[in-house]
A and B are shown apart, each in its own frame.
Chain A
Amino acid sequence: MRSLLALLVLAGAAQAGDAPPKMAPDPVALERLVVQDCGSCHGLTLKGGLGPDIRPQALEYYEPDVLQTVILDGMPGTAMPPWRPLITEAEAAWISEYLLKGEAP
């Protein structure tokens, strides 16, 4: 499971050109994850689908650490899965900042 993210990170690094593979959050890989994989339920523009709208104005009442917990552990009783098996806490923190700001932190 982790190997996929390593691959994603590697792919992101390869796109960026000179950056060596690293385990710190990789903005290119994570942005792709948000747009494509979060987007499969929340919509490519994150305005909602089977899952709710997660654009900044819809999330403004949430603290970053609450969002981070939802991302890591999911929302029991809903279709939101826990992403902890696939991403690190640092990556979840990056994603929650990204969602709140609507752009890379």
Chain B
Amino acid sequence: MKRAISILALAVGLATPALSDTMATGDLGLIIERAKGSVILVDQSDRAALARIEGLGDLSHASVVYSSDERYAYVFGRDGGLTKVDIVTRTIANRVIQAGNSIGGAISDDGELVAVSNYEPGGVKVFDAVTLELVADIPTGSKTIGLVDAPGRKFVFTMWDTGETWIADMNGAEPAITKIPDMGKNPYDALITANGRTYITGLFGEDGLTALDLWDETPEPIRVLPNYGRGQEDMPVYKMPHLEGWAHTGADFVLPAVGHHEVLWIDATTLEETGRTQTHGQPVFAMARPDGRQVWVNFAHPLNDTIQVIDTVSKEIIHEFKPGPAVLHMEFTPRGHEIWVSVRDEGKVKIYDTQTFELLREIEADSPSGIFFTARAHRTGL
């Protein structure tokens, strides 16, 4: 007991500088500086950059998940690096190179496991969230995409090459894998709804999407909008779209069409098409504001200087503007009153009011890409 107390005393002693200047993390976030291998710690309510943390490797296509206490950020880098950033001390707490080439990650609902999906070698690796020690290695023999966390200490992910989706149940000593074949040709990304029920993967190799009802005992592929581009010429795709947990607008899902200048609306219950909205270019992200009233869309190269805002009731575009060259990502504040937009080639992140569309603040950043607020910690699939 005495020993425990002395350890506690030591911990408190070390933490004293932080305690004297208490660091609340609930409105913080990280901006990826993709070329520099650094992240900027930002305060969302103050619209301010607080610090730059360096040494995270190749961060092209990097993404972030947060520990459930919103203290630690797990940054998944393209070079296979998994970096645990302590946003209270503003330092790198731990870093491992876990593969040659990775694409994304997820954290389990209990916060204990961090999973990373890899292109090379293809598969998923699962790490202890505290120590970053390897817990499980799940080779898939394919580039692995669309990795999400699902309720019940599970991860779900999909194979670009083989068109299978696997559900990994992490409750036992070894992962228990359920394989679902025939999801479609070349799935490129996937999302899970915030309630953890519906998993949707978008297809590159054919028109359409494929859904799974994860509440089903034995989920079967459900074809969604097969042949949605019928009669239209496919255009070259210069940037793969992304599917994110922000697709749910309430009544509908809104999803980017691959190789077409439109977003697709699907009834969230029946998965039947409810409409299409013609857009400025090929959508990359179609993200619903957290209240579901608006959808903000950015576009692929070479039309990537523009954002369009769609009203989800009328499904019509209500606002269009040009934040600047190479708009890569957008992140809403947790209740959606503001949005942060990364403008890579201008070296800025721009903050807008989502009601008035007024530009509120600009933050300097080096080739900014992803923006991730800590409130994601409490959402399934983000």
Q: Do A and B come from one complex?
A: yes
- Chain A interface (Cβ < 8 Å from any Cβ of B): 1, 4-5, 7, 11, 32, 35-37, 39-41, 43-45, 47-50, 74, 79, 81-83, 85-86
Q: What are 19 residue pairs bridging A and B, where the CB atoms are less than 8 Å apart in the complex? A: A4-B302, A5-B302, A7-B325, A35-B35, A36-B344, A36-B367, A37-B301, A39-B60, A43-B58, A43-B101, A44-B34, A44-B35, A44-B58, A45-B79, A47-B101, A49-B60, A50-B119, A81-B238, A83-B236
Contact A50-B238, Cβ < 8 Å, known A45-B58, A79-B204 = no
On whether the beta carbons of A48 and B101 are closer than 8 Å, the reply is yes
Inter-chain contact A79/B240, CB cutoff 8 Å: yes
Q: Is B326 an interface residue (CB 8 A)?
A: yes
Where chain A touches its partner, the secondary structure class is loop
Interface string of B99-121 (1 = CB under 8 A from A): 00101000000000000000110
Q: How many pairs of A and B residues are in contact by the CB < 8 Å rule?
A: 70
Q: Could you tell me if B237 and A79 are in contact, using CB atoms closer than 8 angstroms?
A: yes
What's the nearest-Cβ distance from chain B to residue A80, in Å? 9
Instruction: Give the distance in Å from the alpha carbon of A67 to the alpha carbon of B237 in the complex.
Output: 19
Partner of B326, one of A1, A36, A41: A36
B62 to chain A, nearest CB (A): 10
**B293 interface hit (Cβ, 8 Å):** no
Query: In the complex, what residues of A have CB within 8 A of residue B101's CB?
Result: 43, 47-49
**Do A40 and B204 form a contact, CB below 8 Å, given A49-B119, A79-B186?**
no
Are A41 and B236 in contact, with the CB atoms below 8 A? no
**C-alpha gap A43/B186 in the complex (Å):** 19
Closest 9 CB pairs of A and B: A81-B236, A44-B60, A4-B302, A37-B301, A82-B236, A43-B78, A40-B239, A81-B237, A39-B60
Could you tell me the distance between the alpha carbons of A45 and B81 in the complex, rounded to whole angstroms?
14
Partner of A41, one of B120, B240, B303, B344: B240
User: Which residues of chain A have C-beta atoms less than 8 A from B160's C-beta?
Assistant: 50
Interface status of B61 (Cβ within 8 A of chain A)? yes
Contact A86 B302 (CB under 8 A): yes
B143 at the interface (CB under 8 A from A): yes
A contact residues around B303 at 8 Å (CB): 4
B6 CB to closest chain A CB (Å) equals 47
Tell me the nearest residue of chain A to B204, going by C-beta.
A79
Within 8 A of A (CB), among B282-309: 301-303
What residues of chain A lie closer than 8 Å to B59, measured between beta carbons? Answer: 44
Contact across chains for B35 and A50 when beta carbons are under 8 A apart: no
Least Cβ–Cβ distance between A67 and chain B, in angstroms: 17
Q: Smallest CB–CB gap between B140 and chain A, Å?
A: 15
How far apart are the CA atoms of A65 and B66 in the complex, in Å? 47
Chain B residues, Cβ within 8 Å of A86: 238, 301-302
Most chain-B CB neighbours within 10 Å: which of A36, A45, A79, A86?
A: A36
Output the least CB separation between A74 and chain B (Å).
7
List, in ascending order, chain B residues with CB within 8 A of A1's CB: 302
* Bound CA span A41–B284, Å: 13
For A81, what are the chain B residues with a Cβ–Cβ distance below 8 Å? 236-238
